[in-house]
Amino acid sequence: MFRPKIPTMPAPTGLGTPPAVVEPTAITPNAGTPPVTPTAPTPVRPTVQLAPGTVLALVGGGTAVVLVLGAVLVSLLLAVAITGASVAVCAVVLRSLLTSDAKRR
């Protein structure tokens, strides 16, 4: 009952193709063509040269983007924290109102 059953490989069905016979061919070197000398590839697009002012502008722009994203994310986190705290205060006030109402009866 607890012994694994190993499946048997099914027999192939259909017609099988006979193995192809490979005949060796003789290689004859072609001495008539001279060897090709490699040439340096031409650049497809021109290289970009950055001036010091351009580098400073890129660094300043990147810093501004990081600071703006950081401020947005921190403000979102602060909004979530304030919302959670206000919901907790509302829950405490409702609980105290319900327990004081139950004590009066």
CA–CA separation, 63 vs 57, rounded Å?
10
Element (H, E) at 54: helix 52-104
Please compute the mean of the pLDDT values over residues 3-9 and round it to a whole number. Answer: 82
72-97 pLDDT, tens digit each? 999 999 999 999 999 999 999 999 99
pLDDT at 33 over 90: no
User: pTM above 0.75?
Assistant: no
Report long-range pairs for 11-15 (Cβ below 8 Å, ≥24 apart).
none
Can you give the pLDDT at residue 34?
63
